[in-house]
Amino acid sequence: MDFSTYKTEIEKDGFTIIPNVFSENDVNTIVSYINEVNTSSETFRKSANLFAIRQFLKEVPKVKRELFNNNLKSIVSSIFGEDYFVVKSIYFDKPEESNWFVSYHQDLTISVNTKSDIEGYSSWTVKQGQFAVQPPINVLENIYTIRIHLDNTTEENGVLKVVPQSHNKEIYRPETIDWNTETETICNVDKGGIMIMKPLLLHSSSRTTNNKRRRVIHIEFSNKELPQEIHWAEKLSIN
């Protein structure tokens, strides 16, 4: 399959949507593996508005074969590059009656194995036992995110809204968005489809209003090696 159009869209606008990457059976199998997991680990976050699993591929290892099918492998190698590997994975489940929303932001941190005093690496935090840090801009510009949709997702159940081309403006503070010049795009994605985006793309999501859940697997990829003092927390080859 020719992915050149999708690659062009990502480079220009910071995102693209590819339908039918996973079949109905693929999605059902993935969901069944998630449902088997013991949710008592510290990497799990559960509330009335959100269920999330950090270090998803470590917590649900059985899912790897279904996720990294030939379709997804071809997408990664054709659009990102042959040398790209996984660096972060999260599962999000937005329940049917969730009033949780996320305002416009960029994804400015990476997950690493330890904390260290390194020039250019700042804003250290720990989330569910995992270190996060804001790296230099060239590290963020190199990352691609794939969002695998396990449900039909629209504006009514928390689909992403984005500001096209905002990924080209490096650190872009949401409070400085000029809506006289910027536009907003709603990224509807059908079940089994994926959205690819650059982490520096401004994005947000709304509350759920249609009583339908929204389950998404978020996987980040890079081909950069980090300074020798730290390592990617979830580095994983997909081949």
63-116 pLDDT, tens digit per residue, is: 999 999 999 999 999 999 999 999 999 998 877 666 678 899 999 999 999 999
The reply to whether 228 falls in a domain is no
Question: What is the residue range of 175's domain?
Answer: 4-222
What is the residue type of 200? L
The reply to whether 55 falls in a domain is yes
Task: Report the mean per-residue pLDDT for the chain.
Answer: 92
The reply to whether 233 falls in a domain is no
Q: What is the pLDDT of residue 99?
A: 67
C-beta separation of 195 from 149 below 8 A: yes
Number of neighbours of residue 5 by Cβ within 10 angstroms: 9
**Closest among 216, 156, 130, 149 to 189, alpha carbons compared:** 149
Question: What is the DSSP annotation of 45-100?
Answer: EE-SS-EEEESHHHH-GGGHHHHT-HHHHHHIIIII-TT-EEEEEEEEEE-TT---
d(CA 148, CA 68): 11
DSSP 120: T
The reply to whether 45 falls in a domain is yes
What is the residue type of 46? K
d(CA 93, CA 133): 24
C-beta separation of 161 from 197 below 8 A: no
The reply to whether 8 falls in a domain is yes
The reply to whether 110 falls in a domain is yes
Q: What is the pLDDT of residue 165?
A: 98
CATH number of residue 82's parent domain: 2.60.120.620
* pLDDT: which is higher, 220 or 93: 220
Q: What is the pLDDT of residue 155?
A: 87
Give the E-state strand segments of 95-180 in sequence order: 102-105, 110-112, 122-127, 130-134, 144-149, 160-162
C-beta separation of 128 from 45 below 8 A: yes
Render pLDDT for 11-54 as a digit per residue (tens, 0 to 9): 999 999 999 999 999 999 999 999 888 766 665 556 555 578 88
Q: What is the pLDDT of residue 45?
A: 59
Q: What is the pLDDT of residue 41?
A: 64
d(CA 23, CA 190): 11
> Rounded mean pLDDT of 216-223?
97
Q: What is the pLDDT of residue 10?
A: 98
For the ranges 45-59, 69-83, 130-144, 202-216, the lowest mean pLDDT is seen at 45-59
Q: What is the pLDDT of residue 93?
A: 86
143 has pLDDT over 60: yes
- How many domains would you assign to the chain? 1
Cα–chain center distance at 146: 5
Render pLDDT for 159-192 as a digit per residue (tens, 0 to 9): 999 999 999 999 999 999 999 999 999 999 999 9
Show Cβ contacts of residue 222 under 8 Å, excluding neighbours closer than 6 positions. 84, 85, 87, 139, 142, 143, 144, 232
The reply to whether 217 falls in a domain is yes
Cα–chain center distance at 54: 11
The reply to whether 200 falls in a domain is yes
